[in-house]
Each structure stands twice: as C-alpha cells, then as structure tokens.
Chain A
Amino acid sequence: MKLLRPAIILIGLLAIWQVVVSLSGAPPYILPGPWAVAQAWSQRPELFLHHGTITMAEILLGLIFGLGLGVTSALIMAYFRPARQWLMPVLVVSQAVPVFALAPVLVLWVGYGMASKVVMATLIIYFPVTAAFHDGLRRTEPGWLELARTMNGSRWAILRHVRIPAALPALGSGLRVATAVAPIGAIVGEWVGSSSGLGYLMLHANARMQIDVMFAALATLSLLAVTLYFSVDSAVRHAIKWQPDSHSNEP
C-alpha cells in the first residue's frame, strides 16, 4: 500500500507529460513524449547505467565530504566564538555565489576529472549542513544546559553530551536539504567539462539532436536523486529514532 501512492503519482506525472506533448504539438526534437524517452532508454540501458553510476559516485562523495566539513565547521563555530565571527561570512558567501559562476574556475583549477565534480557537490552541500547543525548546536534547550551545569559539566562535556545529541535532528534536516541539492553540484560540474556522467551525456545528446536520449538521461538523474533522498531520509530517521515524529500515528 505504501508503494501505491508514489506509483500513482509517477503514472500521473507521465500522463500529464504525454498530454502536454500531444496538446502543444511540440516536435520530438524539443520535447519528446514519455514513450519515446522510454524507448531511448531501453535501447541502451548500459549507457545510462554507466554514466549514472559515475554521477552517483560524484554525488555520494560530495555528500560525504560536505557532511564531514559541515559538521566540523559547525562544531568549531559553536565552540570558539572568534571562529564563528570569521567563518560565518565565508559560509554565507559560499551559498550566495551561484555555483554556475564558480564552476568554470574550479574546473580549470582542479581539472576535468571527477575531483572537480565532487568539489562542486561538496560546496553546494556545505552550507545547508553547516547552517542547520550550527543552528541546532546554538539553540539547545536551556533547561538541559542548566541541568548539565548544575552537574558540574565542563564546556566540552556539555557540547559532547548535551548540545551535539540535541542538535542531531537539526543536522538531519540540513542533510535532507543537502541531499536534495547535491545532484545540482555534480551536474553543473559535468556541464562545465567532463568525459562521463549523466550531465555529460545530456550535453552530448543535445548537441547531436538526440533529445530523447537527453531526456532519458534526465529521467535517470531524477530517479537517482529521488532514490538518494529517500534513502538518506530513512537513514536519518533511523539514526535519530528518539526524535518524536508528530505524524507517526497516522496510517
């Protein structure tokens, strides 16, 4: 039953897509219909799987580095006041500067290999994770902090035993947001210059007027992104089992 709803949504979206194509009379080299795209996929599934694996690897590595860097930065900022004053503007800039602007510079500097895509994905993930976790660390329930202080906890002990566990739900939220935007970083990196990956495949197919292949690559990317999101969401919920979910009693 749980799978039925997403399946219905998917079929509904496909139907709307087909209707839009039929009604607007859009030619296949601008907007192919879902059937044409499905055919393009089934003709060469290994192509999409190959490039999909590469892009997925870039996203996952970006998530790991982004998470690591973000958690570390948030902890440093929460613990050392001067660190917060110096790092916060950097953090904001990292989010404000559009990834598109940074990408070419980054690629020229780091090269056209996987590294530049991983760096791009990391950059895009860094802000949501850091901001969310730092916020969580700062906004700990005062009652818990006071209790720990009356128990003579050191500043470090309070960080470790009170602030960090209390901030995990916030980190979870940040991680969810980051997972949703991570694919953007990897794809933009590939668009700037690459020799493999779904973004590369989209560019290539577009230039050769194989718009159905381009859309099939896009569909593969969407599927990967959605799967990744729900996996991370499930992992977060499992890790933070104690976080009361206000909807847990609904069917």
Chain B
Amino acid sequence: MTNFRTFFTCLLLIAITMIGQPAQAAEKMTVLLDWFVNPDHAPLIIAREKGYFAAAGLDVELTAPADPNDPPKLVAAGKADIAVSYQPQLHVQVEAGLPLVRIGTLVATPLNSLVVLKDGPIKTIADLKGKKVGYSIGGFEDAVLGKMLEGAGLSLKDVTLINVNFSLSPSIISGQVDAVIGAFRNFELNQMDIVGKPGRAFYPEEQGVPSYDELILIANKARLNDSRLPRFLSAVEKATQYLVNHPQESWKLFASAYKDLDDELNKRAWAATLPRFALRPAALDKGRYERFAVFLKEQKLIKSIPALDTYAIELP
C-alpha cells in the first residue's frame, strides 16, 4: 500500500514538473517598437500571433516606448535586442557614434509625406511660401521639406517651422499650422479623413528625395553573430507572406490581439500599409542606401559617409 502511494506521488511530481517546462526552452527577445502598436508593425504582430516566433524557438516581447527617441539608444546600450527604427535616423545615429546596424526592413517605402488640408488654400508646394509647417523629428523632416521646397523654387527660409512633437494631425486639423511634414501617409491621412477634414499628400520620393525604407529593424553591432537574429527575420518573412496571401484573416488576427485597435482608423491604415511591407525583410539594396546617404550629406545632416557594411548588412 505504502509503496503504491510513494510511486504514485513520484509519478505525479514528475508529471507536474514536465508540464511546467516546455519541451525546449524558448529564448527571450526584447523588441522595441518605434511608436505605439499600429498596422505598421503587422509582420511582427502576425509572426507572434501565428506562432512563427515560437516555432523558431523565440519568446518575443514587443514593447512600445515611452519616448520614441529611446529605442535606438537602448539597443546601442545593450538593453534591448532589436528596435524598429527609421532608415534616415540610422545614418544620423551612426554618425553620432551609436553602434547600430540595420539587419532587416519592415516597411520598404517612404511613409513620410507633406500633408495639407484638401480644401485648404495650399494647392501646390509653391503656395507654402510664408506659411507655417509643423514637424516632429528635428533634423530629418526639415531636410526632406527643404528638398521638396527646392523643387518649387523655395527654401526653408520661406516657411516657418514649428516642432509640434508628434501631434501632427491635431495641429493641421485645428489650423494652427498650414501644413505638416512627417505625417505618415497610411495613418495620418486616414485619421484626417475620418474626422471629416481630409488631407492631401505630397510624396517626398516624387519630389526629388531619393527613396528609402521608412521602418527598419536594427540591432547592436556587437551582437551580429547572435543566432536569434536570422531566426527572427525568417519568422518575420513568413508573417509577411501570410499577410500578402491572407489579408482579411491577418486583419482579424491583429484586431483580436489588440481589441482597442479594432476601429475604422486602424482598419483603413492596415489596408493602406499592406502593399508597402518589405516582401524580403532580410534583403538589402546597397545602392539605395548609398544614394540616400549622399542625399543626407548634401542636406548637411551628416558630415561623412562611412562604409555601408559598418551599419547595414544582410544577415547570412
């Protein structure tokens, strides 16, 4: 009788311990998003919801930052594994000495745009003369604006720049500024449409600014041999494929994972962003990055252009 009880108890204990442990411990990864969760992050969300990360043995934590300027700094300081950031900022950050390297692309087109009210007085870029333009990221957005104004025969001196610190839609909707630069065409435009004040966008890449990747994935230079990184990217690629093949189902997955984002704005933004995701997240177009670096140097945002492979690579 006693032997049976002891045996049974041991079996029970073993069973409990085994249930507690997964078959193979998943490795934790911290990924810092560039902003609050939104449809731009679709591949990452889908990769998590469809279990692609788990299948690659990764336990990925997606965190939205309190201050959007923090994620690159935290990755550079070794406090996070990957950050979602912007290609233009990467060039500037690298020049400031941050040990960051681009390892993948999330959104392969510019999203940035110059937005005015559709029914407003600004019909062409030349109409911006003497007007107020709101922006949010100091340095880059006014450089883009500068190039776009060049095409219309104006310069930055012909407009008043106001840093509106990410409240781009409210400032243009309320009429406090005449135009905003830095508004994402997939997001802010839909936002303005929904509140009944539709906007019109001028696209930088159509006005003389070389094309670039709006959202990229960056990692710390010293950790490039981390085996988790290629596995991460392949999960992101799988997720992007799923997005392209099953747009409706993927929206439903996103909406059920973030119930408070299941609204008209996000639905529209989702549809607008879908064609812009990098179909080959790990691939790097070297020429494109080099050309953009030249553009930044021309605009005096960076002083020198380092070798590309020191800050942007394709992982093997």
Interface residues of A (CB under 8 A from B): 26-30, 104, 107-108, 111-112, 191-195, 200, 203-211
Report the Cα distance A204→B135, complex, angstroms. Answer: 11
| Cβ–Cβ contact A112 & B162, under 8 A | yes
CB distance from A159 to the nearest CB of B (A): 43
**Can you list 19 A-B contacts (CB < 8 A)?**
A26-B77, A27-B77, A27-B98, A29-B93, A107-B167, A107-B176, A108-B171, A108-B176, A112-B134, A112-B176, A193-B162, A193-B164, A194-B163, A195-B160, A195-B163, A203-B138, A207-B138, A209-B93, A209-B95
| Cβ–Cβ contact B162 & A195, under 8 A | yes
A27-B77, A27-B98 are known contacts; what are 13 more A-B pairs with Cβ within 8 Å? A27-B76, A29-B97, A30-B73, A112-B171, A193-B162, A193-B167, A195-B161, A203-B163, A204-B138, A204-B163, A207-B69, A207-B139, A209-B93
Set A28, A192, A210: member contacting B165, Cβ < 8 A: A192
- Nearest first, the 6 closest Cβ-Cβ pairs linking A and B are A204-B138, A209-B96, A208-B139, A207-B138, A193-B164, A195-B162
Report the Cα distance A211→B67, complex, angstroms. Answer: 14
Set A27, A111, A207: member contacting B176, Cβ < 8 A: A111
Any A CB within 8 A of the CB of B24 = no
Asked if A28 meets B97 with Cβ closer than 8 Å, knowing A193-B134, A206-B69, A207-B69, the reply is yes
Any A CB within 8 A of the CB of B177 = yes
Chain A residues in 8 Å Cβ range of B76:
27, 29
Report the Cα distance A205→B161, complex, angstroms. Answer: 15
| Cβ–Cβ contact A104 & B167, under 8 A | yes
CB distance from B83 to the nearest CB of A (A): 14
| Cβ–Cβ contact B171 & A193, under 8 A | yes
| Cβ–Cβ contact B167 & A30, under 8 A | no
Report the Cα distance A30→B98, complex, angstroms. Answer: 10
Asked if A29 meets B164 with Cβ closer than 8 Å, knowing A108-B171, A112-B176, A209-B92, the reply is no
Interface size class of B (residues with CB under 8 A): 20 to 34
Chain A residues in 8 Å Cβ range of B174:
108
Q: Which residues of chain B in 127-177 are interfacial with respect to chain A, using CB atoms and an 8 Å cutoff?
A: 132, 134, 137-140, 160-165, 167, 170-171, 174, 176-177
Report the Cα distance A12→B132, complex, angstroms. Answer: 45
Closest to B301 in A: A208
| Cβ–Cβ contact B165 & A29, under 8 A | no
Chain B residues in 8 Å Cβ range of A108:
167, 170-171, 174, 176
Chain B residues in 8 Å Cβ range of A195:
160-163
Report the Cα distance A28→B93, complex, angstroms. Answer: 12
Closest to A200 in B: B163
CB distance from B76 to the nearest CB of A (A): 7
Q: Which residues of chain B in 80-130 are interfacial with respect to chain A, using CB atoms and an 8 Å cutoff?
A: 92-93, 95-98
Report the Cα distance A185→B167, complex, angstroms. Answer: 19
Report the Cα distance A199→B163, complex, angstroms. Answer: 11
Chain A residues in 8 Å Cβ range of B164:
112, 192-193
Chain A residues in 8 Å Cβ range of B162:
112, 193-195
Report the Cα distance A104→B164, complex, angstroms. Answer: 10
Report the Cα distance A111→B69, complex, angstroms. Answer: 25
Report the Cα distance A29→B71, complex, angstroms. Answer: 12
Closest to B141 in A: A207
Asked if A29 meets B73 with Cβ closer than 8 Å, knowing A112-B171, A203-B163, the reply is yes
Q: Which residues of chain B in 172-186 are interfacial with respect to chain A, using CB atoms and an 8 Å cutoff?
A: 174, 176-177
Interface string of B231-271 (1 = CB under 8 A from A): 00000000000000000000000000000000000000000
Chain B residues in 8 Å Cβ range of A205:
138
Report the Cα distance A195→B134, complex, angstroms. Answer: 9
Chain B residues in 8 Å Cβ range of A206:
69, 138
Chain A residues in 8 Å Cβ range of B160:
195
Report the Cα distance A108→B173, complex, angstroms. Answer: 10
Closest to A191 in B: B165
CB distance from A101 to the nearest CB of B (A): 13
